[in-house]
Amino acid sequence: MSAFEYIIPILYDAPDRYDVTVEYAPDQIARRLANRTGKLTWDIRVYHEGVMVDQRVTTLEFAPDRTPADSELQYIWRGSQFDGKGRPGFVESAFKLADDSSHFVTKSPMGNYALYSAKGRPSYRADGDYKFGSPPVISTVGMYGRVIDGYPTVRLDRAQGFGESLACINPYGRPINVAVRTHDGRELPRQRITPLSGLFISLEPVLKADEARWTGRVQITANNRLVLYHVRHKFGDPTNITDHEHLDPYRADPTHLPATRWLRQKIGSIAERRFGIRW
């Protein structure tokens, strides 16, 4: 059985002036502990412009007959009370063992959504992303030597008030250079994201001066791994958010398989599903 001392940290975007609620169900963590037993720490931090502006470390104890209270597994970043001066930050959530008497059976993080809320604006939920160890990103960087992400359905409309941006998180210790281009050859000025910082890159400059609307696809490349999200908001006001989605790494997987390979996979799938045979 595999044994791990930690779960891969998860990062959440923290837009300026939004409260961010992160919480986990106790069973999500208990299932990752051998025998559902262990003592661990939940270290949750908030970074803004290279500075850690908040931190909470909680010690949690699990046993087959005991789990922490729900309140111990909830954290709220009061971004509505923090002056980010229009710049976003990010939340980092990490679980580690606090003693050597137990272990995690997997380092895969919990798949959960954070709740975003702000007075006078729509609330929404958004998922986090791996700080490191993401298989699609590792595959992309290994194949092309750079990060390549994309989003297929961008719509900008001045009259309807549809604006969109890219939310970028750099949780590492070196600057990251980002380039954005569209399917029809439009490009935005290159951006540099400083360490331990977030940045919103508006897609509205994609519109030409004489255009009222534009629909298309965008591709983002970077010289290092970073966390990227696509954000829909009111045109000209990235603080009034209506939707927040992750981007998709470009992997260039083959779209055609030889018939013999397809047949082997099909037989293997049926054998595993019906008879529990793996090959």
Q: Please report the pLDDT score of residue 146 as a whole number.
A: 85
- Could you tell me the residue ranges of all domains in the chain? 6-130, 135-249
Which architecture does CATH list for 135-249? Sandwich (2.60)
Closest CA to 109 of 3, 7, 4, 227: 7
State the CATH class of domain 6-130.
mainly beta
Taking the alpha carbons of 135, 137, 140, 141 in that order, is the dihedral positive or negative? Answer: negative
Nearest to 230 by CA among 149, 164, 184, 170: 164
The model's pLDDT over 1-18, given as tens digits with 9 standing for 90+, comes to: 578 999 999 999 999 999
Q: What is the pLDDT of residues 129-177, one digit of tens each?
A: 999 988 888 888 888 888 888 888 899 999 999 999 999 999 999 999 9
Environment class of 184 (CB within 10 Å of its CB; exposed 0-12, middle 13-18, buried 19+): exposed
In this structure, are residues 246 and 125 in contact, taking their beta carbons and an 8 Å threshold?
no
- CA–CA distance, 88 with 239 (Å, rounded to integer): 10
What pTM did the predictor assign?
0.87
